[in-house]
Amino acid sequence: MSSFSADTPHSSSTMGRIFIYGILLIVAGYFLLPLIVMLFTSVKSMEEIRTGSLISFPTSITFEAWSKAWSSACTGVECSGLSGYFWNSVWLVTPTVTISTFLGALNGYVLTKWNFKGANVFFSMLLIGCFIPFQVILLPMARTLGFLGLAGTTTGLIMVHIIYGLSFTTLFFRNFYVSIPNELVKAAKIDGAGFFMIFWKIMLPLSIPIIVVSVIWQFTQIWNDFLFGVVFSAGEAQPITVALNNLVNTSTGVKEYNVDMAAAIIAALPTLFVYVVAGKYFVRGLTAGAVKG
Amino acid sequence: MGALTIKNVCKSYGPVDILKGIDIDIQAGEFLILVGPSGCGKSTLLNMIAGLDGITSGEIQIDGRVVNNLPPKDRDIAMVFQSYALYPNMNIRRNISFGLEIRKVPKSEQDRIVNEVASMLQIDNLLDRKPSQLSGGQRQRVAMGRALARKPALYLFDEPLSNLDAKLRVDMRTEIKMLHERLKTTIVYVTHDQIEAMTLADKIAVMKGGIVQQFGSPRQLYDDPSNMFVAGFMGSPSMNFVPCKVVDMGNEAGVEIDGGAGTFRLPIKSNQLKSSVGQEVMLGIRPEKVTHKIESHLEDPNFHLAKCRVSIKEPTGPDTHIFVHMNGAKVVCRSNPDSAKEPGEEMEMMFDLSKMVFFDPKTEERLV
């Protein structure tokens, strides 16, 4: 990119820069607008929301709506805010992401380095799993959970998410491990390492970029999931997305936009946090297979 | 130190036969080279010796022990790979000691071995680095160090030098040779480079199409190739093949050749082919056996002078290669640069009759 400005005269290149950055700022502002509106609204009082305009700066900042959304807003008949559901989601996401990522790594390792008869057919079938919409598996999954006695439990929901996520994590790891030379595994076998030793000591330490990809992907998917949450969990065990929905839809007279906005931001913060922390690894990991360093 | 015996080993993947009855036998301390063009099955054979790949039928013995059904770790072998296959996440010290660690060698003993191997290969100063920080030649040494650390019965090398640049390759070749001289280890070494094969080996197995074409010492293969493939594969520039007819020359048989400056006859020594007069044969002669006129050989009945017409001349420095057409086939002759004639001119070439070999032009097998 820098090369095309190198041979143009200085003044016109400066103009070009200003133009490019101007456009970028406008586009960035456009994309940020909804978030800004949410943020502004969440720190305004109800009084100000009624009288002011949607995108005006808050005149006085108050965190009342935030604390209400967190601890005392009504989600249906219960009026204890989102805090409980937030931790529900945390307890749901942590084991699910860990287990599905680990199993995906194991699958990818077996599919690429311990080739067995029918491995390709197996992989193709797993791939189809990536294209099955949530709605299709609702009914069969409900029957299965009922049969296993896990209906309406967090364990059941965890299981559903692990199974659904496996296709994706396997795909990630399989494609990553294909680019790791087989000779590495052969060398380890000759050194005397067995199946799991090679996995722990050689493959996993090399997999950091793709583990990050898998964790971000799974975290986002499961944290943001509404459908499985609303179908397969009940009452106290519901994840934050379901609670948010209930909170927004529960009206006791006045609609408290500031509380709704604060609640929505609270629900979205963890995914934002994960992207900010691990985002650069995400891009690096997605391209890791393509360009070998 | 282990001997290696391979008895009638076959390998097929479904209907495709990769190896068709391999027999190889080497003594402890010998350097065996498997050489052949791509796809000849040499790497497959090496993987089967290592136990990374199963055999369909036959038997492999290491040190007198049948290892057909043993996993790689129980075969008492170490292997050096073409891509070196160093563990990228471990430093050099751990790369070398990993195999010892798995075999539960005490830590102090591990350190002693790593240091010993490192100083032998002059990689002491690299021990704390990661493989990605090393050059190709250094990685090559580490890969060898990893193999040496375990002191196995058998070392397997899978084209270890083919990723190095030309100069380094020659240096490492010499080092491998010196290492073998010093440690007297048994080595099986796969390469497609016939010069590596000639320089390193005690025994060479030339392979093609899943069959050992010839197994013997480098000298045997060079002077006494058993068919045209081996003859053409070993040596650079490769052996010349001239189609010609066997003629009766009174006491002995001979071959008739048109070198572009009139026909001449080369007598065939030691009463060979006397019964084949009138038949078509393929004469094989190495470039260095067709030379400029050497005065000291003029009296020797094993040498024969004949006029040929030069088509191209290629100076290489120490020698000049003269290209001549004999019976329509292109023949390379190695001449002293001072005696070389210009293209189009006639030149007297001296043939070493004792080094001529003959092949059946149809089966390509050697004629007695």
Hey, what are B246's tokens? 């066997």
Task: Count chain A–chain B contacts defined by CB atoms under 8 A.
Answer: 58
- The CATH code of the domain that includes B132 is 3.40.50.300
Same domain, B182 and B157: yes
* End position of a domain, from candidates B198, B233, B268: B233
Give the pLDDT band of residue A290 (cuts 50, 70, 90): very low
Same domain, B143 and B22: yes
pLDDT at A58: 85
pLDDT at B81: 92
Asked if A154 and A88 touch (Cβ cutoff 8 Å), the reply is yes
Give the pLDDT band of residue B366 (cuts 50, 70, 90): very high
* End position of a domain, from candidates B233, B250, B277: B233
* End position of a domain, from candidates B185, B214, B233: B233
Q: Determine, for residues B73 and A205 on separate chains, whether the beta-carbon distance falls below 8 Å.
A: no
Same domain, B213 and B178: yes
Asked if A228 and A142 touch (Cβ cutoff 8 Å), the reply is no
Phi-psi region of B317 (alpha: psi -120 to 50; beta: other; left: phi over 0): left
Same domain, B137 and B167: yes
Hey, what are A47's tokens? 């009084």
Q: Does A190 touch chain B (CB under 8 A)?
A: yes
Same domain, B89 and B180: yes
Enumerate the residues of chain A whose CB falls inside 8 A of the CB of residue B71.
Answer: 189
Q: In the predicted model, what is the mean pLDDT of chain A?
A: 87
pLDDT at B357: 92
Query: Minimal Cα–Cα distance from A205 to chain B, Å?
Result: 6
Same domain, B216 and B258: no
Other C-beta atoms closer than 10 Å to the C-beta of B227 total: 19
- Which pairs with CB-CB distance under 8 Å and at least 24 residues apart come from B245-252? B245/B278, B245/B279, B245/B280, B245/B281, B246/B273, B246/B276, B246/B277, B246/B278, B246/B279, B246/B280, B246/B281, B247/B277, B247/B278, B248/B277
Same domain, B277 and B158: no
Q: Does A116 touch chain B (CB under 8 A)?
A: no
CA distances to A38, A83, A246 from A256, rounded to whole Å, are: 13, 18, 13
Same domain, B187 and B277: no
CA distances to A8, A254, B49 from B45, rounded to whole Å, are: 61, 81, 6
Domain of residue B18 covers 4-233
Enumerate the residues of chain B whose CB falls inside 8 A of the CB of residue A193.
Answer: 73, 98, 102
Per residue in B103-148, pLDDT tens? 999 999 999 999 999 998 889 999 999 998 898 889 999 999 999 9
Per residue in B319-360, pLDDT tens? 999 999 999 999 999 999 999 999 999 999 999 999 999 999
Asked if B244 and B280 touch (Cβ cutoff 8 Å), the reply is yes
Per residue in B210-231, pLDDT tens? 999 999 999 999 999 999 999 9
pLDDT at A289: 44
Q: How many domains is chain B built from?
A: 2
Same domain, B55 and B149: yes
Give the pLDDT band of residue A285 (cuts 50, 70, 90): low
Q: Structural domain boundaries of chain A?
A: 2-62, 83-286
Q: What average pLDDT does the segment A154-182 reach? A: 92
Asked if B206 and B192 touch (Cβ cutoff 8 Å), the reply is no
Which amino acid does the sequence have at A42? S
Same domain, B216 and B261: no
pLDDT at B286: 95
Same domain, B245 and B288: yes
User: In percent, how much of chain B has pLDDT > 70?
Assistant: 99
Chain B from 212 to 231: CB within 8 A of any A CB: none
Q: Does A186 touch chain B (CB under 8 A)?
A: yes
Residue B283 β-bridge partners = B242, B358
Q: Determine, for residues A187 and B77 on separate chains, whether the beta-carbon distance falls below 8 Å.
A: no
pLDDT at A291: 37
Rounded CA-CA distance B277/B1 in Å is 52
pLDDT at B96: 94
Q: Determine, for residues A183 and B82 on separate chains, whether the beta-carbon distance falls below 8 Å.
A: yes
CA distances to A58, A87, A132 from A162, rounded to whole Å, are: 43, 19, 14
Q: Does B139 touch chain A (CB under 8 A)?
A: no
Mutation test of the interface with chain B: which of A117, A183, A191, A195, choosing the one with the most B Cβ atoms within 10 A? A191
Asked if A288 and A210 touch (Cβ cutoff 8 Å), the reply is yes
In a domain, B43, yes or no: yes
Rounded CA-CA distance B135/B164 in Å is 10
Q: Does B99 touch chain A (CB under 8 A)?
A: yes
CATH topology of domain A83-286: MetI-like fold (1.10.3720)
Per residue in B41-95, pLDDT tens? 999 999 999 999 999 999 999 998 999 999 999 999 999 999 899 999 899 999 9
Q: In the predicted model, what is the mean pLDDT of chain B?
A: 92
In a domain, B368, yes or no: no
Alpha helices in chain A (DSSP H): 2-6, 10-42, 46-51, 64-71, 83-113, 119-128, 134-148, 154-178, 182-191, 195-198, 204-206, 208-224, 227-232, 240-249, 257-286
Among the ranges given (A8-12, B159-163, B181-185), the one the predictor scored with the smallest mean pLDDT? A8-12
pLDDT at A2: 44
Question: In the predicted model, is pLDDT for residue B39 greater than 80?
Answer: yes
Q: Does B88 touch chain A (CB under 8 A)?
A: yes
Question: In the predicted model, is pLDDT for residue A53 greater than 90?
Answer: no
Give the pLDDT band of residue B164 (cuts 50, 70, 90): confident
pLDDT at A3: 46
Please choose, from the candidates A43, A32, A83, the residue with its C-alpha nearest in 3D space to the C-alpha of residue A244: A83
In a domain, B365, yes or no: no
Q: What average pLDDT does the segment B270-274 reach? A: 75
In a domain, B364, yes or no: no
Question: In the predicted model, is pLDDT for residue B270 greater than 80?
Answer: no
Per residue in A211-239, pLDDT tens? 988 999 999 999 999 999 999 888 788 89
Same domain, B227 and B311: no
**What is the β-pairing status of strands B252-258 and B263-267?**
antiparallel
Rounded CA-CA distance B226/B161 in Å is 28
Rounded CA-CA distance A221/A211 in Å is 15
Residues in CB range of B160: below 8 A, 6 or more apart = B80, B81, B82, B140, B143, B144, B172, B176, B189
Give the pLDDT band of residue A55 (cuts 50, 70, 90): confident
Among the ranges given (A5-14, A283-292, B16-25, B232-241), the one the predictor scored with the smallest mean pLDDT? A283-292
Question: In the predicted model, is pLDDT for residue B294 greater than 80?
Answer: yes
Question: In the predicted model, is pLDDT for residue A194 greater than 50?
Answer: yes
Q: Determine, for residues B81 and A183 on separate chains, whether the beta-carbon distance falls below 8 Å.
A: yes
